[in-house]
Chain A
Amino acid sequence: MSRVRAVHQFVPVLYPHDAVGGHTLAVQALLHELGYESEIFVEATHPAYAGRTRPYLDYGTGRGNGGGPGDLLLLHVASGTVQADFLNRRSEPLVVDYHNITPSSFFEPWELGAAHVQSWGRAQLVTLARRAVFGVADSGFNEVELRQVGFGATAVAPILVDPGGFAGEVDAGVGERLAAERSGAEWLFVGRVAPNKCQHDVVAAFALYRRLYDPGARLRLVGGPSAQAYWDAVAGYVAALGLEGAVELAGSVPEGAKAAYFANADVFVCLSEHEGFCVPLLEAWWWGVPVVAFAAAAVPETLGGAGVLLGDKSPARVAAAVDRVVRDARVRAGLVAAGRERLAGEFALERSRARFTAAIEQAIEAAA
């Protein structure tokens, strides 16, 4: 092929305050620094990014919309997308940046529509394996999935997250409310309320923790619903346990409020059964919040020893782990230090940028 002059990105929607959205923007900045033209093509434009993205159907139509020799296309995959079908029909070399697709089995009992989108995405990934010249994965876990569906050439490059970006202004109002409500240990989990993230397991462990260790503890679940039926079930479970006053289903919150939740937390508890990377672990480290997590999917790889990693998530074991982390100042300090070290080392932005640059260079070589 011709020398690569442009690396254009395709992502269904570029959302603000979203891991893939932030990564896409960071990749664009990196590509510009490397001397490549780079536009972001989307299915729908979010108002926050009006003027910064282009409709994907405009790609290759002239008027500066790319297309043809010299282009390398980078598709971000986290679910089914019509962009995959569109790009499969084009001839420019294609690279997949895989952020993981949650297995549809998690959603099937709860929301058939969401399950369909996930299984559609998995089926598309198989066809993309034949079409793409290279696959980039956020984690080794994701890379294994790429290999399993037939990607021949792959590399791991962590999602581009600037830890400095976590330092947003704390919403003082939310912070004051949380401080006023404090009556014991403060548990936190941040992530979409979704069956694969298993917020109900966090609630179960929290219920036992209050009974055995700290009757004044509170749990904050921050994140909007991915499946309304699952949200309703978690809310019903909280009510049935008599924990309405102790568990807050905060929903999706602005960045300042999220910062306040992290600043207020004593422990971050992640009992998710499927994560392709898990960016909130990095946020917890940045805020100096120790992590207790269940060893599933990419979580052990991302955690890398900077947290208490549990091989099973029986409520009793989770509660005991949280108690130890909250009560034992030396354990807590050790975990916080390990998290900050990992954030400044393995996931330092410059390091991740260097790894992504190397992956792009490999992709360009594979396309040649």
Chain B
Amino acid sequence: MTAEQDTPAGDGEAPALDLDRLLAEIDEEVERRRASGELPAELERELDELFARFAPSTPGDNDLDAIVEQVERASFISAAVPVESGKPGASQIKRVLRKLMAWYMNHLAAQVTAMGGATARALRVVVARIDLLSNRVGNLEELVTDRSGAGLDAGGPAGEPDTGDVELLDAWADAVVEVLTDVDGRVLHADCADGRLVTRLLEVGLDAYGVDPRRDVVDPAAAGGLDVRSGTVLEHLGAVPEGALAAVVLSRSVDVLRRADQLRLVRAAAAALAPGGVLVVIGTAPEAWGRRRSPVEADLAPGRPLHPDTWSHLAAAAGFDPVEVRRRDTDHDLAVIPVDSDLSSALNANFARLAAAVFGADSHLVVARKPRS
């Protein structure tokens, strides 16, 4: 059977097509030609390469030098207007007009070219300064990423999806659901990992979606039907219209962003939230940071977690009021001894105080509300 379905078509009627089968047959035809040598693998590549000879170089967004070169090329303005024409006599008329107007057009073109050249020179200076700054700052994310192959603060072995942050999400999920129960509107969770908190929020009737920079974690969740997208929280919030969200839940990347980006993040969340909106930060306690992360990752991450008091301060400075902090105690306990006397009770009590002093809180939830007016 071929692409036509085997249902009988009436007189004069066209047969219904099975397009999936047709596509499969087309694929088979291509494979057959490839296998027979009629369609050498390099032939299609050569077609691509040939067109590339006619295409302008396409600098990537990060190739500043190439972009400046493009500006330099474009800064020369020619007053020699093309005069070709398919219409009889038009070419001669254009040529005469060009000659008559040359004194005027050349004057303008010279000024515009000078301005373009000056702009390109200014860009060169800016690029040089950016290069200098980049060299001084270094690129720590690359060091960490190269080590793990799985993102900024990969918790898992190299090459495996990083899901090291899900323990915190699970620990705080009930509290987040309780805080957001009454919000009315879209709820963003970043970084959403495999979408587990988004799922919890959807289950209680919230309009939740997620963002996470780790494609290897996000893509399977998106394939499963969740509204989760690949991207960084700062980029995403930058694209969200002001006041479009009812709540923003931040986790994971809040711990490792640079200071300046942590400050930007609070301001961006404040802008994206509608009046009455809620900002929730699930953060790692700075004291617990070294325990929760590998030493290499902890040392090379561009930023460090903030104390909950600092998040509160930043939220208040961005106009949030009230701001509430909840802490989760560590699950690291010192072993206790059997209680068989006042002495053992006293020792156990001292062990508990010692554990609290040494290990402290493990993580925290900061809940900040944007005033309604």
Q: What residues of chain A have their CB less than 8 Å away from a CB belonging to chain B?
A: 108-110, 112, 126, 129-130, 149-150, 200, 203-204, 207-208, 212, 229, 232-234, 236-237, 240-241, 305, 308-311, 314-317, 320-321, 323-324, 328, 330-331, 333-338
* A315 neighbours in B (Cβ, 8 Å): 44, 47
Q: What residues of chain B have their CB less than 8 Å away from a CB belonging to chain A?
A: 3-4, 13-17, 19, 22-23, 25-27, 29-30, 33-34, 38-39, 43-44, 47-48, 50-51, 53-58, 70, 74, 240-242, 244
Q: By DSSP majority rule, is chain A's interface helix, strand, loop, or mixed?
A: helix
27 contacts between A and B (CB under 8 A): A109-B56, A109-B58, A112-B70, A130-B242, A150-B241, A200-B51, A204-B47, A208-B43, A208-B44, A208-B47, A232-B54, A233-B51, A233-B55, A240-B54, A241-B50, A315-B47, A316-B30, A316-B39, A320-B29, A330-B14, A331-B4, A331-B17, A333-B15, A334-B16, A335-B17, A338-B14, A338-B17
| Residue picked from A237, A305, A338, most chain B C-beta under 10 Å | A237
**Cβ contact within 8 Å between A109 and B57:** yes
**Cβ contact within 8 Å between A308 and B51:** no
* A208 neighbours in B (Cβ, 8 Å): 39, 43-44, 47
* B22 neighbours in A (Cβ, 8 Å): 308, 324, 331
**Cβ contact within 8 Å between B30 and A320:** yes
Report if A321-B17 is in contact (Cβ < 8 Å); known contacts: A109-B56, A208-B43: no
| Residue picked from B33, B39, B54, most chain A C-beta under 10 Å | B54
**Cβ contact within 8 Å between B26 and A321:** yes
**Alpha-carbon distance A138/B38, docked complex (angstroms):** 43
Give the contacting residue for B55; candidates A109, A126, A207; CB below 8 A: A109
Give the contacting residue for A212; candidates B13, B33, B55; CB below 8 A: B33
**Cβ contact within 8 Å between A108 and B16:** no
A-B CB pair tally, cutoff 8 Å: 98
**Cβ contact within 8 Å between A337 and B14:** yes
* A314 neighbours in B (Cβ, 8 Å): 30, 44
| Residue picked from A232, A308, A310, most chain B C-beta under 10 Å | A308
Within the complex, the shortest CB–CB distance from A340 to chain B, in Å, comes to 9
**Cβ contact within 8 Å between B51 and A237:** yes
**Alpha-carbon distance A365/B33, docked complex (angstroms):** 59
**Alpha-carbon distance A110/B48, docked complex (angstroms):** 17
**Cβ contact within 8 Å between A337 and B39:** no
**Cβ contact within 8 Å between B26 and A317:** yes
**Cβ contact within 8 Å between B58 and A308:** no
* A333 neighbours in B (Cβ, 8 Å): 14-15
**Cβ contact within 8 Å between B241 and A331:** no
* A232 neighbours in B (Cβ, 8 Å): 54
* A308 neighbours in B (Cβ, 8 Å): 19, 22-23, 26
Within the complex, the shortest CB–CB distance from A254 to chain B, in Å, comes to 15
**Cβ contact within 8 Å between A150 and B51:** no
**Cβ contact within 8 Å between B26 and A149:** no
* B27 neighbours in A (Cβ, 8 Å): 317
**Alpha-carbon distance A109/B73, docked complex (angstroms):** 12
Give the contacting residue for A204; candidates B51, B55, B57; CB below 8 A: B51
Closest A-chain residue to B19, C-beta based? A305
**Alpha-carbon distance A237/B270, docked complex (angstroms):** 52
Report if A204-B48 is in contact (Cβ < 8 Å); known contacts: A109-B55, A316-B34, A333-B14: yes
**Cβ contact within 8 Å between A309 and B19:** yes
* B3 neighbours in A (Cβ, 8 Å): 328, 331, 334
**Alpha-carbon distance A311/B27, docked complex (angstroms):** 11
